[in-house]
Amino acid sequence: PEPEPEPEPAPEPPAPTEDPFNGHLELEEAVAPADGLPSVPQHLRVDLLGNDWVELNWTPSADNGEVVEYRLYRDDGVTYRIRGDQTDPSSGSQNEINKYWSTTSFIDCNFTRFADRVHKCGENSPEIGSSHWYQISAVDDDGNESALSDPLFVQLYSESGAPVAPYTDIYLDGDDTFPFETDFSSTDNFLSRFELVFADEFNGSELDTSKWNTSLTWGHTEAINGEQQYFVDTINFPDFGYDPFKFTGSALSIEAIQTPSSLNSAALGQAFLSGALSSHDKFGFTYGYTEGRMKVGGVSGQLSSFYLFRRWAAEHSPEIDIVEYLGENPFGDEDAFQTYHFTDTVHGNTRSSPTMIAKKDSGNFSDEYHTFGVLWEPSLVIWYIDGQEVKRLSGPQIGRQSMNIVTYLVTGSEWAPTPDTTADNFPLTFEIDYIRVYQRDPYIR
């Protein structure tokens, strides 16, 4: 069936205050109709909206047999088939397929996972700043297709400075027009309205332990994502035998080395020693602008990471990756990556935006210091490099819970290759001039 859009887009109703993530819509039970067709998918809606992608969600359909497919129609003729039996050789892409099916959600289009396979995002992704109508149907195991859902209008954001359409959020005061009247293309346009609430200039000779932990919330004994480094917890184990935190008098340098044989047991057999900082239990905040001036590492195998993270692994568990930078530039461009993650409050899955990319016109981000920042507002996230907007997203799945600051240097992982231990690259470095957090008056606590 062909989509039959309404002449004008209808505004999306606000999420109820008792369920800001719209989980109640996911739990609404559909009834199989008597005509033998699957029920029409209900509540097609936007969970997250970006520059060239949108994450959609809908209520599962019912059928007298079994619903085996959803067909998502875009008004320019693109049709996506979402099925539980689709396969992909990449484990990450397969996990994404499984999540789409179990959560009745879909990203148009997740170029991180499906550039040239399954959903062929390389050719199907919507253009930056484009607008589209969407409708969805359900298909059962006899091949019967339901009628189309109500149409949904989506307007993607332009690359920089796009206006923000008025929206409702339980944490946005009805008289607060800041998100709708501000030019967000540059931090110069709004930062004067914020107050500095946290800062570490790293000008001393040692870490400020009132602000930082040198272990992550999951402890020093667990390595995630296939990472090959051991993060030395110098605060709790000052006599470990290696300190990755070096001070120049004006900056901090996190320095990673190969694990000496004498420390192999203490490092739990990890091949490298590195350092991590986390402000959990010492500083957290809800909404604001976070910025770090940093010189990321440019050696193959190192990943410089700076992000906001929810202290407790429960509830919505948001994470905003301000910058992730791979030293080897595996995709052939000079790229800095931005990603948003959250936990589905109904199913418990970790869901993620596509990994967004900010490119540098010339030279390398690792050649010199740059500022990497993120503005986090109710239902709105905007990323900045050197004070200029590079990416944004909005929607009801934006986190509403306090987060803390995390930064570290990874050496070898599922994403970054093992550093060449025969090359004269060590120590690998990630330099930090400062980290600052600013907030608007309504959110200062």
Cβ–Cβ < 8 Å for 421, 75: no
Percent above pLDDT 70 for the chain: 94
**What string of DSSP letters covers 272-293?**
EEE-EEE-TTT--BSSEEEEEE
- Provide mean pLDDT across the span 182-192: 97
**Ramachandran category for residue 85: left, alpha or beta (phi over 0 → left; psi -120 to 50 → alpha):** alpha
Confidence band of 11 (pLDDT split at 50, 70, 90): very low
Handedness of CA 217, 219, 220, 222 (dihedral sign): negative
pLDDT tens digits along 34-91: 899 999 999 999 999 999 999 999 999 999 999 999 999 999 999 999 999 999 999 9
**For residue 5, what pLDDT band results from cuts at 50, 70 and 90?**
very low
- C-beta neighbour count of 139 within 10 angstroms: 21
The pLDDT confidence band at residue 94, using thresholds 50, 70 and 90, is very high
Residue 185 pLDDT exceeds 80: yes
- Rounded-to-integer distance, Cα 439 and Cα 197, Å: 7
Interatomic CA distance for residues 64 and 35, integer angstroms: 10
Rounded-to-integer distance, Cα 229 and Cα 409, Å: 9
Helix residue ranges, H only, 134-188: 178-181
pLDDT grade, residue 334 (50/70/90)?
A: low
Nearest-angstrom CA–CA distance, 33 and 38 = 7
Global pTM value: 0.93
- Distances in whole angstroms, Cα of residue 312 to Cα of each of 20, 147, 218, 410: 19, 42, 10, 22
pLDDT at position 380: 95
Give the model's pLDDT for residue 18.
Answer: 64
In this structure, what are the phi and psi dihedrals at residue 233, rounded to the nearest 5 degrees? -90, 85
pLDDT at 10 over 70: no
Q: Would you state the pLDDT for residue 107?
A: 97
Q: Is the CA virtual torsion 325, 330, 335, 341 positive or negative?
A: negative
What are the chain's domains? 23-155 (2.60.40.10), 178-443 (2.60.120.200)
Indicate the DSSP class of residue 300: T
Task: State mean pLDDT over 418-439.
Answer: 95
Higher pLDDT, 1 or 138: 138
> Can you say whether residue 241 is alpha, beta or left, with left for phi > 0 and alpha for psi between -120 and 50 degrees?
left
Instruction: Please name the residues in contact with 309: beta carbons below 8 A apart, sequence gap of 6 or more.
Output: 217, 278, 280, 319, 403, 404, 405, 406
More reliable by pLDDT, 163 or 252: 252
Above 80 in pLDDT, residue 9?
no
Mean pLDDT of 249-272: 97
Given this model, what pLDDT does residue 169 score?
87
CA 396 to CA 23: how far, in whole Å?
11
How confident is the model over 320-349, as a mean pLDDT?
Answer: 86
pLDDT at 15: 57
Cα–Cα distance for residue pair 157/164, rounded to 1 Å: 9
Residue 96 has a pLDDT of: 95
Residue whose pair of structure tokens reads 């607008």 in the numeric block? 131
Residue 299: strand, helix, or coil: coil
pLDDT of 6: 44
Any residues with CB less than 8 A from the CB of 239 and at least 6 apart, and which?
none
Task: State the pLDDT at residue 314.
Answer: 61
Predicted confidence (pLDDT) at residue 23 exceeds the cutoff of 90: no
Does the pLDDT value for residue 311 go beyond 80?
A: no
Q: What is the pLDDT of residues 347-394, one digit of tens each?
A: 888 888 988 988 888 888 999 999 999 999 999 999 999 999 999 999
User: What average pLDDT does the chain have?
Assistant: 91
Judge whether residue 329 has pLDDT over 70.
yes
Share of the chain above pLDDT 90, in %: 75
